[in-house]
Amino acid sequence: MVGPAAVSAHCTMSGTKKRSRSIPRTILTWLGLSAGSFVLLSLLLVLPLRWLDPSTSAFMVWHRVDARLEGRQPPALFHEWADWDAIAPDVALAVVAAEDQRFPEHQGFDLVQIRKALARHENGGRLRGASTISQQTAKNLYLWPGRDWVRKALEAWLTVLIEASWPKQRILEVYLNIVQFGPDTYGVGAASWRFFDRPPIALEVPQAALLAAVLPNPDVYDVERPSAKVRARQAWIERQMRQLGGTAYLRGL
């Protein structure tokens, strides 16, 4: 016969085993729900903007937040959306020539430039970024300034979603409308009026190249008072635009 104490011990051990087996299952369920929620939220952030024009960007918001953190009055931002057909094709070409010449071909990441950057670093050079227009769109639109790995991981994930759900032309259109061209000035719509007193459709090759020339650091490089370095970069961009075959290079977008 089995006594009551033995039965009780057996039940206790069975209950403990069941609980121990249920703990990993609970963790897996929680991880699955978290991952699913993250993917769903990402899709809700990215997919609608294939058709809807964003009225602002994370970088514009951070621009104002940073001023408040420094105890300054948040600046008035210059931003005006311009549809693709309202932007001179030379502007799009200049930005591609300056920032990402393989933009029509890659799937969000320029592996050629990444390999070159790593090779320079291995040879003692400074590790420089090889960000594509797609990556910069993801960063400027959704994330924050900085170089931490969390931001880089989110940037990579959002780049994949953007490339998968937006046409190339839409990616470039959004980028041209949110990238910073000067102090408190975001997007080619605002930049064309502020710096050249004309709509973006009326910009000519030298003006388009000058706007693209300041993109590496628009807080330092000045469209209105371009330095010798900016002028040299402007001339290089104009040469690249010609070598790419002019605006016909963008027909495949």
In whole angstroms, what is the distance from residue 194 CA to residue 186 CA? 11
55-250 in CATH: which number? 1.10.3810.10
Which residues on adjacent β-strands are paired with residue 185?
A: 78, 182
Place of tokens 């370095």: 229
Share of the chain above pLDDT 90, in %: 70
For residues 62 and 145, is the Cβ–Cβ distance under 8 A?
A: yes
Task: Give the CA count within 13 Å in the CB-facing half-sphere of 171.
Answer: 29
CA 115, 116, 118, 122 torsion: positive or negative? positive
In whole angstroms, what is the distance from residue 142 CA to residue 158 CA? 8
* Each residue's pLDDT tens digit, 84-118: 999 999 999 999 999 999 999 999 998 888 787 67
Query: What value does the CA radius of gyration of the chain take, rounded to a whole number of Å?
Result: 25
- pTM, to two decimals: 0.87
* Each residue's pLDDT tens digit, 60-82: 999 999 888 888 888 899 999 99
> Which residues touch 65 (CB under 8 Å, ≥6 apart)?
none
In whole angstroms, what is the distance from residue 195 CA to residue 223 CA? 7
Would you say residue 128 has pLDDT above 60? no
